[in-house]
A and B are shown apart, each in its own frame.
Chain A
Amino acid sequence: MDRRVAVIGIGTTGFRAASPEVSYREMIYEAAVKAYSDAGLAPDQIGSFIACSEDISEGTSIFDEYCPDQIGGARRPVHSVSGDGLHGIITAAMNIQTGLFETALVECHSKVSNCIDPVEIMNYALDPIYNRPLGEHPEFIAGLEMRRYLYESKAQPKDCAAVVQKNRAHALKNPWAAYPANLELEEIQDSPATFDPLREIDRAHHADGASVVILASADWVKKNRVKNPVWVKGMGWISEDPGLEMRPWGRSIATQKAAKMAYKQAGIRSPRSEIDFAEVDDTYSYKELQHLEDLWFFPLGGAAKAVRSGLTRSDGKFPVNVSGGCLGMGNAAEASGLQRVLEIVTQLRGEAGVRQLKRVRQAVAQSWRGIPTTSCAVAVLSKGVNS
């Protein structure tokens, strides 16, 4: 029995600022149809269905009940994960590794344009006794973290501006992206500070969209002669201290530990030389720099140098967020994590068109669950089962 796991199908609606012409279920249906078509499968060939969502963002209690039918999972084994898309991928992979299922499907979506007040939803995630009584905008947390990160790493606000410029420019070549732009560094630096040092433009805009990924066991891949499987070689997920008061503020410990877990599984000793490109969380510009360092690609302060020198551009030696990331594609909640997997699979298959990277074999996806969490997940994806 070969229980290694591969991605064998992907589908997405792409991300947009709003999607008034469809319901969330129709949007998900479209992504699912595309994923089935890509994999050459029908719903009755899927063993396990996993949907990632958060009730309060959906505006529906027990949202699990609204997941099955639009992904082909009615009257089938379905469960939902209140986690990021990468948590969904990891759950699906483990479902397959049990031997109970040969295939699994993961769905994530965002219909945030239906939320009247997403800031209040974010605020409701804050500790109700120690933090929420202050009554401030919850993104003050990003302001606090950005200042501490810049202090420890000696990165500059202009390095964060360079991340915004890079990712919005990358999005110009991605038809799935909602916020492509050609920006001058000066206009980014002139963006008004909201929670200083955080600027308005350092934050990813919300987006709607749905994405679906289908995975299968190595046995299934061999038996069905899948042409272009992308292997899930390593997985890690960590939640650090929940409280704002006891956690360190400069580094993402959850990313460090999740990365170690994933690299160990994948047999990676030297991440920077063994990984060809990365799709990482950039909900706020500084998070990309922080996450790259905590994924062990660069020492503290090294990510700022990398973005300054162009190393992390799509034409650089170590492309980061060639999809455009959250800054360029839009922040589609749980779907952003799944979209990182979609981008990596598209690149490793060589199907990325005008943004295709050359000679890439192995990549890393990393997610952060957003304010005020310290939950992160990491996956190593690879073209060859042994590479």
Chain B
Amino acid sequence: MGVLEKITSNQELRSWPGEIPLENLYTMGLAGERFFRGIKDEAKLLGTRCKTCDVTYLPPRIYCQGCFEKLVNWVDLPPQGKLETFTILNQDRAGRPYKTPRILGLVRIDRSEGALIHYIQGLEPQKIRIGMKLKAQFRSSSERKGSIQDIVGFVPA
């Protein structure tokens, strides 16, 4: 077995750039269709419930990961919950600093085991506490398109 001779001069280094236009469509599925229709049409959160495991899924699933049974029990959930954790974003995806930092929170939705991750609005960072009650703020019905962005963010309940 050999050992490698290596290039020792920067001027001799060659590379070839490659790229592909990587685009995908992601269908929302049975559960996603119903969830986002609930948000778009009625500004409400829908979960699915497994009575056997005593678990309410949000985002909803049509099967239970615990007992592996089909889930048919849809429940309306209050668009509010407890802040489980949050982070203050000082930069965007390209690493450019935000003039005004953004705040993302994970809100554990009441009467479910699930949560939503969204912006926290109307609170100074130093006023935010884990455990505080927050409620979802939806866009107006004419602005809603059936996506997670139909929610503006969470505000104090």
Contacts and interface: CB of A to CB of B under 8 A. Distances in A.
Interface string A120-151: 10011000111101111110100111111001
Nearest to B24: A128
A181 to B, nearest CB: 21
A137 B91 contact: yes
B148 A33 contact: no
B140 interface: no
Contact of B26 (A128, A143, A198): A128
A241 interface: yes
Given A119-B95, A130-B148, A148 B89 contact: no
Nearest to A193: B90
B118 A246 contact: no
Contacts of B119: 134
A159 to B, nearest CB: 18
Contacts of A192: 90
A186 interface: no
A54 interface: no
Contact of B114 (A146, A194, A246): A246
Contacts of A30: 3-4
Interface stretch (A20-28, A218-226, A292-300, A317-325): A20-28
B149 A245 contact: no
A147 B26 contact: no
Contacts of B130: 147-148, 151
Contacts of A143: 87-89, 104
A30 B106 CA distance: 45
Interface string A184-201: 000000001111111000
Given A21-B7, A22-B4, A245-B114, A123 B93 contact: yes
Given A22-B4, A129-B28, A196-B87, A244 B93 contact: no
Nearest to A242: B65
A246 B13 CA distance: 48
Given A148-B130, A151-B130, A245 B116 contact: yes
Given A133-B149, A134-B118, A136-B93, A195 B18 contact: no
Given A119-B95, A244-B115, 5 more contacts: A22-B6, A192-B90, A193-B88, A195-B88, A246-B114
Interface of A: 20-22, 26, 29-30, 33, 36-37, 42, 59, 114, 119-120, 123-124, 128-131, 133-138, 140, 143-148, 151, 192-198, 241, 243-246, 249
Q: Which 9 A-B pairs have the closest CB atoms?
A: A143-B87, A148-B85, A196-B88, A128-B26, A21-B7, A245-B115, A137-B93, A147-B85, A195-B87
Interface of B: 1-4, 6-8, 10, 13, 15, 18, 22, 24, 26, 28, 32, 57-59, 65, 84-95, 101-102, 104-106, 113-119, 125, 130, 147-149
